Amino acid sequence: MGSVVEVNPLSRVEGHGTLRVYLEGRHVERVELCLTESPRLFEALLLGRSFAEVPDIICRICSLCSTVHKVTALLAVEEALKLPVSRTTRLTRELILHGGQLQSHALHLYCLLLPDLLEVKGVADLARQAPELLKAGLALKQVGNQIQEELGGRLIHPVNITLGGVGRRASRDTLYRLRDGIESVLPICTDTVQLFRQGFPFPPLSAPHYLAVQTGESAFSGRALTLESLPGIPVAGYREAISEWPVEHSHAKSARVRGLVPTVGALARLNLAPPAGGPVGELFKEVGGAVTGQDLRGNALAQALELYQSALAARDLVEELLEYDPADTGSPPVLTPAAGSGSAACEAPRGVLIHGYSFDASGLCRAADVITPTSLNQLALEENLLALAHGMEGAEPAVLVAALERLVRCFDPCISCAVHLVQL
């Protein structure tokens, strides 16, 4: 007789989800991941709002990625309105995105994932049983947050980064403080890489199709997407390459890119653009075998490497900002409404994030579209859950379910982001 094992709520992930495994005796019939977050309706909330309001509203889609949602929205609106931005503004955004990545990866690795490695139930157990490790992880997270607060004006939903500029440029004192903070955690970054070299102790998963933004001048944003070795996908034409559809048992949507099931995030980024040179390049030579060409089991190590990469890049950016032109204050321009459409893609901590908007002549939003990393990963996650369940067939249901939940955590899903749909 068939039975269903359910994990509700999924724990140590952002947002609300349920995992169901349908069993026929010990045989796994099917695995269902339901993103049960309430409908958020952000695209509909934006319609009729002014172009200037769009970035402030859309960043509330998710707290963990609010900075990158805000920057992606700014870039898309700036493209629609053809607004230029100064070097100070570009560098400030780049630095705050590194801050966001540091805080998000450190939260995921040390508060959500580490309990699995140490076989405890969560962050409260860590505080009792591994206080020094938790303290180190929180110190790293705090430096990311310090960058976000100093440059963004507050920790979540940053206000100081705005259309065409910054409200107030970071002072020299602020930059010195940030540099000291970053330098103090560099040793923790290398320890983190060693800590997360411990693999995921389960059978191999399906081979991923890596998808990432082609970055260049910026480490986060770019004009095209790379899907394995296929020709680049221009961000402006993303709708033609990405097909999305609603999922029956979920409030999120699934996506394919050029017909393939994509995997986005740290693992995809480090596979498509492996770190070369410098301290991270050296470390990658030593540990990169567990990332290159690997399935999702390598994602935590990839995030750990990116933590180190972001800390070093942030330190360099602070130096650049210390030397910039004092005349370039980054003051935002006077904004005038105009008709136009724009789209932008950024690497969020969890992978490719795309925003697209259209405005009418009075600057009011007439179309809004957001594609999040978690919806791009959804199909790969479901495929991998089934592959893992089949690979572990015969295991005790409790053991099987624990492994599946741990796999969900490897993807680092952001469920409140994923829960929205667009009209296709």
Q: How far is it, in rounded angstroms, from Cα 239 to Cα 234? A: 10
Q: How far is it, in rounded angstroms, from Cα 376 to Cα 143? A: 29
- Give which of 51, 85, 75 is closest to 333, Cα–Cα: 85
Give the single-character DSSP code of 93: H
Q: How far is it, in rounded angstroms, from Cα 132 to Cα 135? A: 5
Evaluate the CA torsion angle 365, 371, 372, 374 in order and state its sign: positive
Residue 365 marked as a ligand binder: no
Which CB atom, from 3 or from 38, has the smaller least distance to other proteins?
Answer: 38
Residues 24-53 touching other proteins, rule: CB under 8 A, are: 36-41, 43-45, 47-50, 53
Which residue among 131, 201, 216, 278 contacts other proteins (CB under 8 A)?
A: 131
- Residue 362 CB, nearest distance to other proteins (Å)? 11
Residues 142-201 touching other proteins, rule: CB under 8 A, are: 142, 145, 153-157, 159-160, 162, 167-168
Q: Cα separations (Å) of 101 from 185, 217, 347? A: 15, 18, 10
| Rounded to 5°, angle at Cα 152 from 149 and 155 | 40
Evaluate the CA torsion angle 66, 71, 72, 78 in order and state its sign: positive
Residues 250-289 touching other proteins, rule: CB under 8 A, are: 251
**How far out from the chain centre does Cα 33 lie?**
19
- Residue 394 CB, nearest distance to other proteins (Å)? 24
Q: How far is it, in rounded angstroms, from Cα 219 to Cα 214? A: 9
Q: Cα separations (Å) of 379 from 38, 208, 352? A: 20, 11, 15
Residues 101-130 touching other proteins, rule: CB under 8 A, are: 107, 111-112, 115, 121-125, 127-128
The answer to whether residue 138 forms part of the interface with other proteins (CB under 8 A) is yes
Taking the CB of residue 392, how many other CB atoms lie within 10 A of it? Answer: 17
Residue 59 marked as a ligand binder: no
The answer to whether residue 70 forms part of the interface with other proteins (CB under 8 A) is no
The answer to whether residue 369 forms part of the interface with other proteins (CB under 8 A) is no
- Would you give the binding string for other proteins spanning residues 314-343, x where CB under 8 A is met? ------------------------------
Q: How far is it, in rounded angstroms, from Cα 337 to Cα 352? A: 29
Residue 420 marked as a ligand binder: yes
Residue 320 marked as a ligand binder: no
Q: Which residues are annotated as a binding site?
A: 43, 62, 65, 370, 414, 417, 420
- Residues annotated in a binding site for Mg(2+): 43, 62, 370, 420
Residue numbers belonging to the annotated binding site for Fe cation: 65, 417
Return residues touching other proteins (CB under 8 A): 9-16, 36-41, 43-45, 47-50, 53, 56-57, 60-64, 66, 107, 111-112, 115, 121-125, 127-128, 131, 134-135, 138-139, 141-142, 145, 153-157, 159-160, 162, 167-168, 246, 251, 405, 416, 420-424
